């Protein structure tokens, strides 16, 4: 393994990724293949290693990314894979989509024409339908009208339409009103697909499942399961359990640089938000908000030291933070766990997210470039 600076680092367990994939495969029917969502550097886990492992060890053939740069990177890691761009590619790059044999999401008739106008070779695509996410895609009152527009787009020269897809807004909720909403989204795309079939138009792919769809309402009609967050072992929404055996792939660690005793009246960190009211032992940890450990965790977060939770004292700085280690036997050089398991305790990205009002997705995506990713078995 390449040596790395033992300051703050992320450990990514590829074997856990493999176990998560096996569990997800077992949720899906024969008709559904996993499309691994590896956008945003594989949710902060590092797309090169994640893609190569999925492709070489887990037989994953479909990958989804957010943009052309990510797509070209995945093409390098997984030469014969199918790579799908979920979001927008500026039309002036259309020829590269074709050149790298990438599948582009097409979000409107206008966009289809612009793409076709900018490419010498045919572009493969799936057409996006906005069934209720309100973000991108064809938006219609009825599946019939939607099918009409799809038929029209299919007449565009140099555009090869291989599928249609949509995206759920609340598949990660068990509130009845939200379930009804997702049911309606699902019905809309299935009806559109059926109408097209009746008009003798058949696509290889029709897909709508994300992680939440895959876990909570798996439907064999979706030919692909666009799985992101659950593959990395985190919850689509913290209120719902994920399948047993699925565990986080990433841990984040740092070290203690300095241990000292402070007395009543001593202050800790910027802004003097913390003043000791008794004698305590304080440790400085080599991680800060520039590593993606949010400043919103100031005075709130906890860090595991030898399996024990230690509270953050005062403000998180750019590169360092301080914790209360009064009850732990520790010294400079000891490894601490910001995210992950230590002894019998575990702090998950989902738990951290809950403390400062975000989601686990943002926590793992936010672990910055400065933090080396170390791949372990
Ligand atoms: C990001 C994304 C996904 C994956 O979502 P998860 O909740 O991480 O599974 C699927 N589909 C689309 C269109 C996305 O943008």
Percent of the chain having pLDDT more than 90? 99
Ligand 1 lined by 236 (C-beta under 6 Å): yes
Q: How confident is the model at residue 3 (pLDDT cuts 50, 70, 90)?
A: confident
Q: Are 269 and 314 in contact (CB under 8 A)?
A: yes
Determine how many CB atoms are found less than 10 A away from the CB of residue 44. Answer: 25
Ligand 1 lined by 207 (C-beta under 6 Å): no
Tokens of 160: 């090869």
**Whether the model pTM is above 0.85:** yes
Point out the residues that are catalytic.
39, 270
Average pLDDT on 236-247 reads 98
Query: In ligand 1, which atom is closest to the CA atom of 66?
Result: 15
Query: In ligand 1, which atom is closest to the CA atom of 211?
Result: 9
Look at residue 202 in the predicted model and tell me its pLDDT: 95
Ligand 1 lined by 167 (C-beta under 6 Å): yes
User: N- to C-terminal Cα distance for the chain?
Assistant: 12
Within 13 Å of residue 349, how many CA atoms lie on the same side as its CB? 30
The span from the CA of 239 to the CA of 187, in Å, is 25
Instruction: Identify the sign of the CA torsion 266, 268, 269, 272.
Output: negative
Average pLDDT on 367-372 reads 98
Q: How confident is the model at residue 2 (pLDDT cuts 50, 70, 90)?
A: low
Domains of the chain: 14-232 (3.20.20.10), 250-347 (2.40.37.10)
Residue 99 has pLDDT above 80, yes or no: yes
CA of 88 to the centre of ligand 1 (A): 14
CA of 226 to the centre of ligand 1 (A): 6
Ligand 1 lined by 185 (C-beta under 6 Å): no
CA of 263 to the centre of ligand 1 (A): 50
Buried/exposed 327-352: b ≥16 CB within 10 Å, e otherwise: ebebeeebebbbbbebeeebbbbbeb
Span 330-356, pLDDT tens digits:
999 999 999 999 999 999 999 999 999
Average pLDDT on 262-279 reads 98
Any long-range contacts for 94-101 (C-beta under 8 Å, 24+ apart)?
94/118, 94/119, 94/123, 95/119, 95/120, 95/121, 96/68, 96/72, 97/68, 97/71, 97/123, 98/122, 98/123, 100/71, 100/72, 100/75, 101/75
CA of 227 to the centre of ligand 1 (A): 6
CA of 35 to the centre of ligand 1 (A): 10
Residue 1 has pLDDT above 70, yes or no: no
Ligand 1 lined by 374 (C-beta under 6 Å): no
Look at residue 101 in the predicted model and tell me its pLDDT: 98
The span from the CA of 243 to the CA of 241, in Å, is 7
CA of 68 to the centre of ligand 1 (A): 17
Instruction: Return the best residue to mutate from 21, 37, 133, 227 for the ligand 1 pocket (most ligand atoms within 8 A of CB).
Output: 37
Kindly calculate the radius of gyration of the chain based on its CA atoms and give it in whole angstroms. 24
Span 7-60, pLDDT tens digits:
999 999 999 999 999 999 999 999 999 999 999 999 999 999 999 999 999 999
Query: In ligand 1, which atom is closest to the CA atom of 172?
Result: 7
Residues 6+ apart with CB under 8 A from 192: 129, 143, 146, 147, 150, 164
Percent of the chain having pLDDT more than 70? 99
Ligand 1 lined by 210 (C-beta under 6 Å): yes
Ligand 1 lined by 37 (C-beta under 6 Å): yes
Q: How far is CA 373 from the centre of its chain?
A: 16
CA of 310 to the centre of ligand 1 (A): 34
The span from the CA of 115 to the CA of 121, in Å, is 11
Residues 6+ apart with CB under 8 A from 235: 172, 229, 241, 242, 350, 360
Query: In ligand 1, which atom is closest to the CA atom of 165?
Result: 13
Instruction: Return the best residue to mutate from 84, 226, 227, 361 for the ligand 1 pocket (most ligand atoms within 8 A of CB).
Output: 226
Query: In ligand 1, which atom is closest to the CA atom of 43?
Result: 8
């Amino acid at each position: 393994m390449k040596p790395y600076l033992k300051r703050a680092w992320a450990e990514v367990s590829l074997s856990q990724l493999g176990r998560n994939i096996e569990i997800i495969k077992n949720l899906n029917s024969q008709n559904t293949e996993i499309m691994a969502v590896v956008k945003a550097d594989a949710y902060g886990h590092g797309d090169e290693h994640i893609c190569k492992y999925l492709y070489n060890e887990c037989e994953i053939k479909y990958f989804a990314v957010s943009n052309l740069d990510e797509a070209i990177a995945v093409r390098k890691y997984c030469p014969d894979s199918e790579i799908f761009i979920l979001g927008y590619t500026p039309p002036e790059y259309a020829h590269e989509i074709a050149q790298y044999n990438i599948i582009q999401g097409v979000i409107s008739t206008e966009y289809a024409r612009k793409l076709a106008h900018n490419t010498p070779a045919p572009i493969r695509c799936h057409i996006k339908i906005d069934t209720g996410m309100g973000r991108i895609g064809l938006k219609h009152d009825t599946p019939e009208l939607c099918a009409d527009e799809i038929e029209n787009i299919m007449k565009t020269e140099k555009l090869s339409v291989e599928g249609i897809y949509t995206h759920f807004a609340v598949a990660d909720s068990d509130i009845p009103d939200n379930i009804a909403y997702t049911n309606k989204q699902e019905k809309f795309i299935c009806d559109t697909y059926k109408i097209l079939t009746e008009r003798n138009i058949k696509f290889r792919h029709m897909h709508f499942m994300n992680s939440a769809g895959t876990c909570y309402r798996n439907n064999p009609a979706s030919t692909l399961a666009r799985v992101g967050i659950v593959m990395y072992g985190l919850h689509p929404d913290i209120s719902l359990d994920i399948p047993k055996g699925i565990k986080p792939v990433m841990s984040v660690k740092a070290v203690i640089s300095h241990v000292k005793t402070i007395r009543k009246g001593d202050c800790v960190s910027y802004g003097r938000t913390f003043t000791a009211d008794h004698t305590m032992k304080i440790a400085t940890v080599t991680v800060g908000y520039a590593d993606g450990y949010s400043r919103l965790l100031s005075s709130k977060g906890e860090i595991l030291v030898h399996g024990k939770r230690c509270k953050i004292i005062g403000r998180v700085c750019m590169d360092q933070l301080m914790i209360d280690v009064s009850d732990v036997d520790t010294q400079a050089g000891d490894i601490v766990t910001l995210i992950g398991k230590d002894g019998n305790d575990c702090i998950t990205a989902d738990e951290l997210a809950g403390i400062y009002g975000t989601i686990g997705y943002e926590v793992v995506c936010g672990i910055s470039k400065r933090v080396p990713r170390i791949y372990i078995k």
